[in-house]
């Protein structure tokens, strides 16, 4: 029997493959009712191994299973999303990830799937407004480059961070004054971050927001509820 300290980014399926066992057995032996929900920092019991493969702190860093040290990080806590990605308590740029932000990210994805799926319909503000309404119960009006002025200041605050940082944090509202498309040059664009470091959602799921070109007037807003 070995023990393993769950790390940020781990999933039960990946650990089951690593330790040559099954997800159901790991879940059963560790009394995990939801295999999609594992907690960073918790200890996992892995049957069928007679060696220690733990993730324990060591001087100057933390030791992974392979024995290499990693430095500069902080241990995150919290659950995982349905896809198995461990959600951090603190996101990029020092922004604290709250239940409200996770709720908005989930509502944003649901809104995107209900409108355009993976293809833009030119209704980005509609998707973001729908997500905000479904998550928090109020609507925000305006097009992509107006929503930033219409977000209630008692419920959202503007933060200074790069697009790369923002995309690593779920539940942020992004706005651009202009994009490279004809309509985007007039109405701008708005979206909600999913926290996976790549994608954002509005009226559709944009798989590579970081790779989008020709956008200007970027702003980031975080829910404060």
Does 6 have pLDDT greater than 70?
A: yes
Euclidean distance between CA atoms 200 and 189, whole angstroms: 11
Q: Where in the sequence of the chain do the CATH 3.90.1720.10 domains occur?
A: 94-223
Q: What is the mean pLDDT of residues 184-208?
A: 95
Instruction: Give every CB contact of residue 154 below 8 A, 6+ residues apart in sequence.
Output: 224
pLDDT tens for each residue of 73-95: 333 344 444 333 333 445 556 78
- pTM confidence score: 0.61
Residue percentage of the chain with pLDDT more than 90: 54
Topology of the domain comprising 94-223: endopeptidase fold (from Nostoc punctiforme) (3.90.1720)
Position 209 confidence tier, pLDDT thresholds 50, 70, 90 = very high
Judge whether residue 125 has pLDDT over 90: yes
Tens of pLDDT, residue by residue over 36-83, are 778 877 888 887 644 444 333 333 333 333 333 333 333 334 444 433
Which CATH number describes the domain made up of 1-89? 3.10.350.10
Mean pLDDT score of the chain, rounded to an integer? Answer: 81
Three-state secondary structure call for residue 186: helix
Residue of 158, 150, 135 whose CA lies nearest to 188? 150
pLDDT at 51: 42
User: How many angstroms separate the CA atoms of 11 and 197, rounded?
Assistant: 17
Query: Looking at the chain, which residues constitute the CATH 3.10.350.10 domain(s)?
Result: 1-89
How long, in residues, is the chain?
225
According to the model, what pLDDT value does residue 185 have?
A: 92
- Confidence label for 170 from pLDDT (cuts 50, 70 and 90): very high
Q: In whole angstroms, what is the distance from residue 166 CA to residue 5 CA?
A: 28
């Amino acid at each position: 029997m070995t023990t393993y300290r769950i790390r940020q980014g781990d999933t039960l399926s990946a650990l089951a493959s690593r330790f040559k066992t099954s997800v159901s057995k790991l879940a059963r032996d560790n009394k995990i009712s939801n295999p999609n929900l594992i907690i960073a920092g918790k200890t996992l019991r892995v049957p069928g191994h007679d060696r220690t493969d733990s993730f324990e702190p060591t001087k100057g860093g933390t030791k992974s299973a392979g024995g290499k040290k990693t430095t500069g990080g902080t241990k995150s806590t919290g659950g995982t999303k349905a896809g198995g990605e461990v959600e951090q308590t603190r996101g990029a740029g020092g922004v604290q990830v709250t239940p409200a932000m996770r709720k908005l990210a989930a509502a944003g994805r649901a809104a995107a799937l209900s409108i355009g799926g993976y293809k833009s319909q030119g209704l980005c503000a509609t998707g973001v407004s729908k997500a905000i309404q479904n998550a928090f119960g109020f609507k925000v009006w305006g097009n992509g480059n107006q929503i930033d002025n219409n977000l209630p200041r008692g419920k959202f605050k503007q933060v200074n961070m790069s697009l790369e940082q923002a995309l690593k944090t779920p539940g942020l509202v992004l706005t651009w004054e202009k994009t490279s498309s004809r309509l985007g040059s007039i109405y701008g664009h708005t979206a909600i971050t999913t926290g996976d470091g790549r994608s954002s959602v509005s009226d559709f799921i944009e798989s590579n927001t970081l790779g989008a070109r020709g956008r200007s007037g970027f702003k980031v807003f975080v829910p404060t509820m």
